[in-house]
Structure 1
């Protein structure tokens, strides 16, 4: 391809990607900007913008009307606890599947993969019955423990750990290192990029999880952020007599903007590790 054609192709590709970026970000930008606009203005002129009328009133009202802070706290507790368990136990299980030979290894790993094919809704009733028998309904245990060892996480970590040369592990054993020492001192440093990528995915999955929390934690005290957001309109109209459509819309946009902020910050801060983690183990050599 001559330079002129390469330049035209590059311009076309960048134009297309720019258009996709604008189309993807436009609704998000509109929602965040509109959260600072007066409710009546959002409804009457959805695409307008008057800088002189920007206000924090929607945010103040939604924090007064809805237990968003409690939802953030519950989500943070679940996120830290469940995320830690996933990032610790999934690599351990993957290490066993990738580097040890034992009876039934293929059957066990196949069973792990089968769970990836099961829809979440199929597991909800059995899990809920178990939580009821244990007395864990509306508790942090029920929100944290089910799904803490994720099948996809085990599969991904196994693929990455399988690429580590066995000679490195044998050398560590010759030096007198135990199996957990090998995992901590040899395996973990080598899989750090993939682990970081898994961490980003785990954070997003737990933060956005709705179906299981709404089933097992139906009290306001234990509601996670996504459950609080799902009942936002009802809470606003219930806590404020005469709340109209414009008021509800403004507070909904404010709540959505607040809920979006942590994920955006985490992804921007860890995007390099996320990309490296996605690529880790994808090239053999």
Structure 2
């Protein structure tokens, strides 16, 4: 009996060259921003592409921390990411499970309306949301930063598509064994869709962390400002707090603040990139 041998096609040297070139293309801006933030402010403008280890300094970071409440921005962002992300990761999978595995009157209509909300630009929703927050007395509060958008259409759609691939026989087996619906979801569905949940978690954290439009509208109190709002006011604070602050000073502190803000997202993606990629590919290849 003849057996066919299957072997993976090995990448050619040219493919490695192309991948290496792309890696350099994407990594270089990050390296330039971090290395430039460690240079004297005047050197950033005078010789932006040069780098000398002997001239490394933390002056830009010290000056930036004196000019803007970056620590407050980090703490506020951490709080919003933790609470809002938890709400998204708990409620959106449950909603997706209901749309994927339950048959109830109006299901398709509700899901269609949910999909229509994805077509609405964020700017269209800002004024109605701001009026609602004002009526509730939530302007300049953490509730305004956390609750709007904590249950979003994309996350429900993502979970619905992921859970739809779970065989109904597994759920029926759990019901035969006497398990309740929540237990079936927690013990059977969640382990199967773990890659999709991990990918949704990464996307959720990055979206909340990078959100700027809604936080800058919902709060104007400095004690509630998130990191992105603090960064947007950095140039104004530098020129306002320091007499004679020039262009190079602003650039040095902007690069220092941007480098610090970049590190959490970069670290998150490096640690969870395998789960993120698996979640993106989940369901695209049938076994």
TM-score where L is the length of structure 1: 0.95
Query: Deviations 1:13-37 (Å, cap 9, x if unpaired)?
Result: 2222222222222222111101000
Q: Distance in 1 between matches of 2:13 and 2:93?
A: 43
Following superposition, the deviation at residue 184 of structure 1 comes to: 1.1
Q: Secondary structure at the match of 1:148?
A: coil
- 1:66-102, Cα deviation, whole Å (9 max, x unpaired): 1111100110000001110111101000000000000
The reply to whether residue 118 of structure 1 matches residue 120 of structure 2 is yes
Q: Distance in 1 between matches of 2:58 and 2:196?
A: 40
Q: How does 1:38-187 map to 2 (within 5 A)?
A: 38-187=40-189
1:47-75 superposed Cα distances (whole Å, 9 cap, x missing partner): 11221110111111111111111100110
Give the secondary structure class of the aligned counterpart of 1:109.
Answer: helix
Match of residue 249 from structure 1: 251
Moved more, 178-187 or 73-82: 178-187
Deviations 1:117-145 (A, max 9, x none): 11111111111110010001111111111
Single out whichever of 188-197 and 10-19 deviates more from structure 2: 10-19
**How many pairs does the alignment contain?**
279
Distance 2:86 2:284 in 1: 25
Q: What do the CA deviations read for 1:226-280 (whole angstroms, capped 9, x no partner)?
A: 1111111001111222211111111111000000000011110100110111111
Q: Secondary structure of the residue that 2:178 maps to in structure 1?
A: coil
The answer to whether the 8 Å contact 1:34/1:253 transfers is yes
State the superposition RMSD in angstroms.
1.3
1:133, 1:257 → 2: CA distance?
A: 38
SS in 2 for 1:218: coil
Unaligned runs of 5+ in 2: 1-8
Could you say which residue in structure 2 is the equivalent of 1:3? Answer: none
1:280 is matched with 282
Secondary structure of residue in 1 paired with 2:118: helix
Cα distance between partner residues in 2 of 1:103 and 1:242: 68
Unaligned runs of 5+ in 1: 1-5
